[in-house]
Amino acid sequence: MDPSPNTNEALTETRFSDLKPPLSEDIIEALLRSGPPGFEFCTPVQAATIPLLCSHKDVAVDAATGSGKTLAFVLPLVEILRRSTSYPPKPHQVMGVIISPTRELSTQIYNVAQPFVSTLPNVNSVLLVGGRDVRADMKIIEEEGCNLLIGTPGRLSDIMERMDILDFRNLEILILDEADRLLEMGFQKQVNSIISRLPKQRRTGLFSATQTEGVEEMAKAGLRNPVRVEVRAESKSASLTNSKIPFGLHLEYLVCEADKKSSQLVDLLVRNKNKKLIVYFMTCACVDYWGLVLSKIPALKSISLIPIHGDKKQNARDKALASFTKASSGVLLCTDVAARGLDIPGIDYVVQYDPPQDPKMFNHRVGRTARLGKEGRSIVFLLPEEEDYVEFMRRRGVFCQEKKCSEEASDVIPIIRSLAMKDRAVYEKGKRAFVSFVHGYKEHECSYILRWQSLEIGKLAMGYGLLHVPSMSEVKQKRLSSEGFSPVEGVLKFEDIKFKDKSKEKQRKQNLQAKKEKLEDKKRERDKKNSKKAVNASSATADSKKRKLTGKQRQTIQTAEDEEEMARDYRLLKKLKKGSIEEDDFAKLTGADDF
C-alpha cells in the first residue's frame, strides 16, 4: 500500500525515493532507519539540491535556517563517492571534504553523515576540529586512513600542511557549509589554503543562510557555473512571504525595566519547566553567572540548567550539548556559539535575554526552534530604551508581537543578593558578568538603536543582583548614571565575603597575605630610600656647616644628633615589643646586626 501523503507543510510531496537521478537503496533504507515517521519526504532545499549535485552540478544554496541543508549535501556526497571511478578508494585517498565554521556544527554534520557513510564499506570519514591534540588526529589518519574529511577550517588546513600522505588528486566533492559564517569568523585565508590544494575538476556545494558580497566572491572563485538554489520558509501570513524565519514560529518581544528582567526570566522558566528552552546571553561571563545563580533559586531547583559558551573546553562543550540533546526538557544557557547550524531536536522556546550584537544572529537564534515545520516560540527581552529594535527587525522582515510583563513574577533580587553575601563566587561572577555585558553592549552593530550611553546602569546592576555598582571608567567619568541602585543595608565589608568552596577561600587568603606582604615590602623599600636620601642630604649640609662652625657649635650639633638617634631607637624598641616589627628588622634599623 502506498504510504499516506505528506501532511507537514514544511515538506514537499517529493519522496527521496522519487528523486532523479535515483538515490541508492542503501541510502533510502538508511533514511527510513534514522528518521522519524514521514521522513521519506524531502524538504524544499533537499528536493532542489540533491538532484543537481548528483547530476554533477555546482550549487550555491541560500536557504532558511532549519530547512534541512545538512542532508541536502550529505546524501549526494555519499552517492557521488559511491559512483566514483576511484571507488573503492585507497586508505589515504581523500574523495570528499566538508568545511564548517564551528566545532559543534562540524561534529553534528559528522554524526548526521555516519549512517549514510557506513553504507560505503571501504570509506572512512574523519572529524577534524580544534580543541583536540593535532598529533592524535594525525595518528588516527596514519593508522586508519581517511577518505572523507569533515571539520573546521583551522584544523583542516593545519592537517593538510602537516601530512604529505594525504592524496587529493581524485577528490570528487567539496562542501562549504555556513559560508557566510566562515567569512564572518575570519576563515577566508584558511579556506583559500584548503581550496588551493584541491583539484579544480570537482563538484562544489556552497551553502549559506545569507548571501553576502563575500559569499558571492567565494562562489565565483570556487564554483564553476553554479546553479543558484534559493529557498525561503513559507509563512502563515501573506505579509511574511519569503521570510527567513521558520514556518510555525511565533515571535514575541517583552519590554521591561533592567531591574525587572531577571525576575521575568525566572517566571518564564518556571511557567515552561516541562519544556525544552534555549536562553541566549551577551557574553561568556554572563552565561557563567546566570548558570550559577539560576541553579540556586528555589523555584528553579527541578529544572536542568546546562551552560555552554566558547570559553569552555571542547570536551565540556560536547558533553553539555550531548546531555541537552538527549533531554526531554531543560534549559540551555548559551552565547551565540550555539546560534547557528546546530540541530537540537525538540526545542520549544528560544529566549533572547540580551539582543544579539550582530542583528543577523537574531534569525539564527530563533531558528533553533520550529524546525522542519514544527511549532515553536521565541521571545526577546528589551529595555524601554531599546523598543525601536522591534521596528528595526520589522524592516528586516522579522515581525514580533508584544508580550506583557507577568504581574505574578516574584522578585528574585533579594535571593540573588543573599547568595552573593554568602558566597564570594556569586559576588565576583556577578561583577564580572555585569562589566562584560556593558563592554559587550558598546560593540552592538546597531548602536544607533542600542546606545550604551542610554543604559540605566543603576537599574542594570539591580537586575544582576549586585551588592554595589562595580567601579568602571564609564561610571567614574559619569558617562553612565548609577541612579536607581539601592545599596544593601547592613552588609558586611565586601572584602570579608568568603568563598563557600573551602579550597578557593584558602587560596584567596593566601593571595591576600602575599599581596599584603608585597605592599609592606614596597613601603619599607620606599622608606629606606627616603631615609637614605635624607641622611645624605643632612650629612652634606652638616659637612658644609662643620667647616664654618666653631668647636662648641659642632659639639652642640653632635649632641642633638645623638639624642635624635636614641629617640629613634627607643621608638623602634616600642614597635618591637608591640610586634609591629620583627627582631631582624629592628636589628637592621638600629645597626645592631653590624656587630
Average pLDDT for the chain? 85
- What pLDDT score does 127 carry? 96
pLDDT of residue 437: 95
Take residue 40 and report the three cell numbers written for it.
Answer: 521519506
Angle between helices 103-117 and 69-83 (to 10 degrees): 50
Tell me the C-alpha to C-alpha distance, in Å, between residue 150 and each of 9, 27, 130, 469. 32, 19, 12, 47
Cα torsion through 358, 362, 365, 369, rounded to 10: -170
Task: Give residue-wise pLDDT tens across range 160-218.
Answer: 999 999 999 999 999 999 888 888 888 989 999 999 999 988 999 999 877 666 677 77
16-231 has which CATH code? 3.40.50.300
Each residue of 290-306: pLDDT tens digit?
Answer: 999 999 999 999 999 99
Q: What is residue 7's predicted lDDT score, i.e. its pLDDT?
A: 47
Q: Quick one: how many helices (H) and strands (E) in the chain?
A: 21, 14
CB atoms within 10 A of CB 579: 7
pLDDT at 593: 55
Residue scoring higher pLDDT (381 or 103)? 381
Dist. CA 395–CA 476, nearest whole Å: 38
What is the spatial distance between Cα 375 and Cα 253, in angstroms, rounded to a whole number?
A: 18
Alpha helices in 151-222, H assignment, sequence order: 153-162, 179-184, 188-196, 213-222
pLDDT tens, position by position, 101-153: 988 889 999 999 999 999 998 899 999 998 888 999 999 999 999 999 999 99
Average pLDDT over residues 573-595: 67
Sheet strands (E) in 337-465:
349-352, 376-382, 401-403
CATH architecture of 238-496: 3-Layer(aba) Sandwich (3.40)
pLDDT at 38 over 60: no
Res 226: pLDDT: 85
Residue 8 CA to its chain's centroid (Å): 34
Q: Say if residue 353's pLDDT is above 90.
A: yes
Residue 468 is classified by DSSP as: S
Alpha carbon separation from 259 to 453, 463, 497 (Å, rounded): 17, 4, 24
Strands 227-231 and 59-63: parallel
Which of 143-147, 233-237, 419-423 comes out lowest in average pLDDT? 233-237
* Stretch 418-440: mean pLDDT: 94
pTM, entire model: 0.65
pLDDT tier, 6 (very low <50, low <70, confident <90, very high otherwise): low
Please give the residue that has the higher pLDDT: either 475 or 289.
Answer: 289
Give the pLDDT of residue 233. Answer: 55
